[in-house]
Amino acid sequence: MVSLVTIRRRAAAGLVASLLAATGTLVAPAAPALAADPAYRSLRAASNPDWMRRLPDSAGLAGLSLPGTHDTLSIHGGAWTQTQENHGNSAATLAAQLDAGVRAVDIRARINSGNTFTIHHGATYQQANFDDVLAVLGAFLAARPTETVIMRLKHECTGEIGSCTDAAGQLGFADIFDRYRTARPGLFWGPSVDRGAGAAVPTLGTVRGKVVLAVLHGPRGGRYGQYGLAQFADWGHGSSTYIQDDYDVPNVGAIATKRDRVRRHLDATSAGDPTRMYVNFANGSSVFATPAAVAGGALGVQGVNPFLLTYLNEGPEVHPPVRRTGLLMLDFPGGGLIDRIIAVNTATDN
């Protein structure tokens, strides 16, 4: 029997809807988005296409505060699947995020015929292919060579109910990735895409104009080869040493628990080893709490995004100032929240 967590994680929106209809259970919708909400669903209110140019080349990538998106291209499939504002297919949504200032992305791929990748969230094709992703990244970094983008690439398909199934008779996921990498020489930072040796966390000057692969994940979280950064050797399914990814939010009332987990990891990041990269997933969902509800709030419960914006804005009389956020991976980020995360970099000495 498939657990509710598995159904949620694989974004089986149709299956969830059927389950709810059968049981008569009501699910709280996300709170309506306000037109000027700075924390939620206002991505285009931010415009930070080359904000990294102000940072010194000597800045360690691990010491930076980087706005990111969880399941970056999940814009189709309904309330239990969508995690980002829809700014267009074929990775146009990614282009909008990059222009807003997002510098960490979470890409989920299915093995398709012809040894290619299509972008999925669970069973839902997101109307984009990996070629689209690389074309958008390549064009952006060519136009903005002071910037860098950190990518987590995950093999999405398990073949289980609610997930996708890979096309038969194709190469392995890592072999197909190598073909893409070879076809676009210079796009990826070389040490991060070496199958045989994990890379040390670089300085910003080393990786300007490049994509840095943080990790290449299998469908259940296992790491493929040594791709990515060596410090993420234990990054599996969910949380690990430098990762907060407690994604199961059983109901709207449990959003408060998720907020606290995000806050605790944010505090640990701010106080932690500046040579280590921390990743904080602000998203969460379940059958009884949609991604939008967790991000934006519902039924009078504050969402993670507005909580984060308030926490980052609070002064030392409330709590120790946040000196570093690491990679903050967000659902439906607002422009004000993106701006505030970026501002942490100029308020601290990197």
- Residues 132, 136: Cα–Cα separation, whole Å: 6
Beta bridge partners of 248: 285
Task: Answer positive or negative: Cα dihedral of 162, 237, 326, 110.
Answer: negative
**Domain residue limits, the chain:** 4-347
pLDDT at 236: 84
- Residues 137, 157: Cα–Cα separation, whole Å: 24
List the pLDDT tens digit at each of the 350 positions of the chain.
334 444 444 434 444 433 333 333 444 454 444 446 999 999 999 999 999 999 999 999 999 999 999 999 999 999 999 999 999 999 999 999 999 999 999 999 999 999 999 999 999 999 999 999 999 999 999 999 999 999 999 999 999 999 999 999 999 999 999 999 999 999 999 999 999 999 999 999 999 999 999 999 999 888 999 999 999 998 988 888 899 999 999 999 999 999 999 999 999 999 999 999 999 999 999 999 999 999 999 999 999 999 999 999 999 999 999 999 999 999 999 999 999 999 999 876 54
Helix (H) / strand (E) element for 121: namely strand 116-121
63: which 2 tokens? 């010491």
pLDDT at 344: 98
Q: pTM of the predicted model, to two decimals?
A: 0.91
| φ/ψ of residue 176, rounded to 5 | -65, -40
Please name which of 84, 15, 25 lies closest in space to residue 288, comparing C-alpha atoms.
25
Fold of 4-347: TIM Barrel (3.20.20)
Helix (H) / strand (E) element for 153: namely strand 149-155
* Interhelix angle 335-347/304-313, nearest 10 degrees: 30
